[in-house]
Amino acid sequence: MKSLMQRALGADWDKLPPALLAHYRFGTTTDTGEMDIEYPRFMQPLLSVLGVFGVLVNRCGQRVPTVVEKCVVDERQYWRRTITYPNGQVIRFDSFWVPADHGQMIEFVNPVLGLQMAPYVTEHQLHYRGVRFVAKLGPILLPIPEWMVLGHTTIVEEAVDETHFAMDFRLTHPLFGQLFRYSGTFEAASNSPSSK
């Protein structure tokens, strides 16, 4: 079967290097690596509140060991991120992805709040462009403009070698600048065979 990302990218799927193909292949997969998490000090109170609702991560850190486990159930791809700080504190950041129209996808951080994104490939890099935030109320999907909340989302992922990839996630508000960033390098290790 085709993965959610493979369906979204269409023919551009074949332009991805092996490490990114392994990262997004169909089935159950695990990526291991380290992340840098940074945000301005004034964001701490807001992120602490948002953390209660599963939105983002509310602690900074450098080279924090991180494990990302992914699995597919029906039309959803579940992401379970486990971030372990040097003092032993563990933060979980979970989400699930669903397909959207026009080769886009929505990442929900809880049953209500999500981020709609448009992925595309440029020079063997995978880019995401944030389209809008959404609130799902029953069958209704309400759009929330990016500027009304945390700003514009960009993600860039690129292969480091055959099995490792680097990723960079940023939220940039038109008035307040960069409000959140996490980045890191991971080894993509699949627990299931590649789809064709």
Domain containing 74: what range? 4-161
Answer whether residue 75 is part of any domain. yes
- CA-based R_g, the chain, Å: 16
Long-range contacts of 49-53 (CB under 8 A, 24+ apart): 51/91, 53/109, 53/110, 53/113
Predicted local confidence at residue 196, as pLDDT: 39
Tell whether the torsion through CA atoms of 38, 40, 44 and 45 is positive or negative.
negative
Answer whether residue 52 is part of any domain. yes
Number of neighbouring beta carbons within 10 Å of residue 148: 11
Residues 6+ apart with CB under 8 A from 47: 39, 56, 57, 58, 180
Is pTM, for the whole model, over 0.85? Answer: yes
The beta-strand segments (E) located in the chain are 29-38, 61-73, 76-84, 90-99, 105-108, 113-122, 125-137, 140-144, 152-159, 164-173, 177-190
- Separation between Cα atoms, residue 188 and residue 196, nearest integer Å: 18
Number of domains making up the chain: 1
Answer whether residue 177 is part of any domain. no
- Separation between Cα atoms, residue 108 and residue 81, nearest integer Å: 14
Answer whether residue 195 is part of any domain. no
- Separation between Cα atoms, residue 7 and residue 134, nearest integer Å: 21
- Separation between Cα atoms, residue 64 and residue 37, nearest integer Å: 8
Contact indicator for 94, 86 with CB cutoff of 8 Å: no
Tokens 């809880």: give the residue: 110
9 DSSP assignment: H
Answer whether residue 143 is part of any domain. yes
Number of neighbouring beta carbons within 10 Å of residue 196: 7
Contact indicator for 104, 8 with CB cutoff of 8 Å: yes
Predicted local confidence at residue 193, as pLDDT: 44
Answer whether residue 11 is part of any domain. yes
Q: Within the chain, which residues score under 50 in pLDDT?
A: 193-196
